[in-house]
Structure 1
Amino acid sequence: MIFDSLDVSYGDMWGSQQGTAHSDPMPRAVAARRHAAGTDYAVLLSARERPLALAEYWPRRMWRLYLFDDRSWRVQMIDLKQHGTGMLLAHRNTRWQFSGEQEHASWKWDVQETTTVSADGQVEVRSEFAGPGASVPEGVPVRRFAAPLESFLCPAPEFGEWQVFAPFLAQQGHEPAAALVLSDVPVDEGAGPLRAAGIEQLFRPGVHDTPNGQAAVEPVDAGLLRITSGRLAVSDPGWVGEDPRTVAVPRGDFPVTLSLVRTPHATEVAAARVTFVDVPPRAWEMALRPDEDLGLLGGGQFYGVGVDTGTAAFLDATRTVDEDRLDEDVFVPLDSRFAVELPGTRSGPNLIAFRAGRGDGAYPVWIGRTDDGQVGCVVVDFRLHPAAGGE
């Protein structure tokens, strides 16, 4: 196929490998800011409603390029890294062959061929047969030879210079015309990060309509949280030492409230709140780390607390946990309860852990501020309630 134009869309890495546009597209301006900040994003290049390549921008100015064949199957992956010449070196090129559509969908390849290129042009080509999990025959074919380095180099693109990837498309039979036009797929440039809307409703008792029927919201007391350092941490209790998300707050003992959502099928924790000033918040803001920039987020995206144990917790930033006792002290009790407290010493900080919505994932943390700018409350929203999370 010869093409003279490419449609360009932007999104997160792994955001689209099948369609002609990202399922959650990112405005061009956001992608450009990510490029300038060295933060990951992806560029999907399509032609005639068919995907041709997905280029992922990795840290340290590296790129990974996925190529698609005429069936829109992802059949090739090229890793490009910085070379001493100032260009990009295609140092690893992997191709796959599949016997049919079902095998491709389940990623059971028949042949995998990997070409590795050193910085001085030494090439190794290794072929493997049979799919993952199957035995690989002894004596895997390997070829080694020297080749002109120039044939493996390409310019490192500035943002928007996606023509530099066009020559790679020929490896799947997609021939670019001499004059290639790039056209951005239209995206709502006004779409921004996730906004805090309906947070107060998360803790307002009553019956609400949901896509799965009616659900009853019930706020419940989860105890008093003791803050001794002036820093609240929000973390998975199994990863307390791994750079938790923190907020500057007053010292003292403060109530923790869970929002339970009850349906005929289950009762789940929809949100958790620790209240520092008992007045309705005037404004909400996302809890950010110093290195996080809202300008790098696409539509509906957020920075939040990561959960890997199905559990989240409020704690003082100085509080530690005994990992050997987490099962006995936290995870097992939460099988039959919604929240559990790990006491501190007489004057030391405690920890209040609670079930995290429907389990593992990432969840936004919101700071509610009073009229005079004080932190009135901090809320973790597990995004179960229909009003949660806003737009």
Structure 2
Amino acid sequence: MIFDSLEVSYGELWGPVRGMTHPEPVSRAVAVRRHAVGKDYAVLLSVRERPLALLESWPRRMWRVYLFDDRSWRMRMIDLKPHSTGMLLARWNTRWEFSDEQAYASKKWAVQETTTVSDDGQVEVKTEFAGPRGASTQPPQAPPAGPSSVPVRRFSAPVESFLCPVPEFGDWQVFLPLLAQAGHEPATTVVLSDVPVAEGSGPLRATGIERLFRPGACDAPEGPAVVEHVDAGLLRITSGQLAVSDPGWLGDPRTVAVPPGEFPVTLSLLRTTRGATVAAARVTFLDTPPHEWDMLLRPDEDLGLLGEGQFYGVGVDTGTAAFLDATRTVSEDQLDEDVFIPLDGRFTVELPGTGPEPNLIAFRAGQGDGSYPVWLGRTEDGQVGCVVVDFQLLPAGGEE
């Protein structure tokens, strides 16, 4: 294919996901901000909505390029890393061949050829052929090592043949020579045009948080439901810092300054015909109703880097979340015996402190592992009146 124009669109990284459009698009403005601070994003280059290349910008100035052929099949993956010349080196280049469309759809390649290039131009080409049952197209994450029964060629070549400039944002022409490897030939002049993406309402907003703690009937995605309250006890804060975390991973919690003292923790249960699930958890510091809601952010997090409906949240890997004083520590034995095992049959459990020391209140995390937004309910003068973890069981809506 010879092309003289390209449509440019932006989104989240989606290399492992099969498809021909961004599953999670972002605006150019968000991509610009991510580029400036070294955060990841993806660039799709297309012709009349047919993808030619997917460019993934990774941290530490790394890039990955996927190339599509005339059938819109993803046939090649190139990993580029910074080189001592100040340019990018095509360190790994993997090419796939498929016997037919069914084989491509099932990710069973017939041939996989991987070219590895060292910083000084030493080249190794490894060719693998699928066995009787085929093979997966998952790309290698490291260069081949050790003895191999597959054909390998080694030779030297000018390293300049594998270099390309480091792009400034929007300067995607630097990658156009790579497209020839998928049979696409750029014209003398190639015009790039951005595909507009609706800005929408931006990052996730705290809508309907009060509704989560209003007892009574409501509509849930699976049908009629009832919101119930559970008193989870008093949380003791001694350091003036509240932590929100998976109790099994306390090394990097989300924290916020709050007054010392003892404060009530309330769970919101969503009860349906399938049973009850923890929909949200709240610790209340002031009786004053929230005037506004803010997302609980770490110092290095910027809402301007988030796409539509995205959020920075507390990560859950044990099916459990917790409120605790930021100084509280928990041993592995305590977690198993006093938190995880009791939560098999309960919605919440308290891990007491010794004497005046801070305690920990753990609770089931919605429907399990994942990432969940944490909201700060602030009073009119900016004080933190409450902190809420929303497990996103109810659709957004209702009051701000």
Q: Which runs of 5 or more structure 2 residues have no equivalent in the other structure? A: 137-146
Name the counterpart of 1:69: 69
User: Does residue 283 of structure 1 match 2:284?
Assistant: no
Q: Retained in 1: the 8 A contact 2:237–2:324?
A: yes
- Partner SS, residue 359 of structure 1: coil
Mapped partners of 2:106, 2:366: distance in 1: 30
- Partner SS, residue 70 of structure 1: coil
Q: Which residue, 230, 243, 249 being the options, matches 2:240?
A: 230
Q: Which residue, 136, 143, 151 being the options, matches 1:141?
A: 151
Name the counterpart of 2:37: 37
Distance 1:79 1:354, change over 3 A: same
Q: Retained in 1: the 8 A contact 2:290–2:380?
A: yes
Q: Deviations over 1:278-309 (max 9, x none)?
A: 12100110101011111111111111111111
Mapped partners of 1:104, 1:259: distance in 2: 47
Q: How does 1:1-391 map to 2 (within 5 A)?
A: 1-14=1-14, 17-130=17-130, 139-241=149-251, 243-387=252-396
Deviation larger for 100-109 or 113-122: 100-109
CA RMSD of aligned residues (A): 2.2
Deviation larger for 16-25 or 171-180: 16-25
- Partner SS, residue 324 of structure 1: helix
- Partner SS, residue 258 of structure 1: strand
- Partner SS, residue 238 of structure 1: coil
Mapped partners of 1:111, 1:40: distance in 2: 30
Q: Deviations over 1:78-106 (max 9, x none)?
A: 11011111111101101122334444344
Mapped partners of 2:360, 2:217: distance in 1: 31
Mapped partners of 2:111, 2:332: distance in 1: 44
- Partner SS, residue 168 of structure 1: helix
Mapped partners of 2:123, 2:162: distance in 1: 10
Q: Deviations over 1:294-330 (max 9, x none)?
A: 1111111111111111111111101111123322222
Q: Which runs of 4+ in 1 moved over 4 A?
A: 15-20, 131-135, 388-391
Mapped partners of 1:131, 1:36: distance in 2: 45
Mapped partners of 1:125, 1:89: distance in 2: 16
- Partner SS, residue 180 of structure 2: helix
Q: Retained in 2: the 8 A contact 1:95–1:112?
A: yes
Q: How many residues align?
A: 389
Deviation larger for 320-329 or 121-130: 320-329
Deviation at 1:18, TM superposition (A): 4.6
Deviation at 1:71, TM superposition (A): 2.6
- Partner SS, residue 237 of structure 1: coil
Q: Retained in 1: the 8 A contact 2:61–2:81?
A: yes
Mapped partners of 2:113, 2:81: distance in 1: 20
Mapped partners of 1:106, 1:266: distance in 2: 38
Percent identity between the two aligned chains: 77
Distance 1:66 1:389, change over 3 A: farther
Mapped partners of 1:353, 1:238: distance in 2: 11
Distance 1:19 1:191, change over 3 A: farther
Deviation at 1:44, TM superposition (A): 1.1
Q: Deviations over 1:188-215 (max 9, x none)?
A: 1354111111111011111112332111
Q: Retained in 1: the 8 A contact 2:211–2:398?
A: no
Distance 1:103 1:351, change over 3 A: farther
Q: Deviations over 1:48-71 (max 9, x none)?
A: 221111111111111011112223
Deviation at 1:19, TM superposition (A): 4.5
- Partner SS, residue 201 of structure 1: helix
Q: Retained in 2: the 8 A contact 1:234–1:246?
A: yes
TM-score, scaled relative to structure 2? 0.92
Mapped partners of 2:73, 2:378: distance in 1: 50
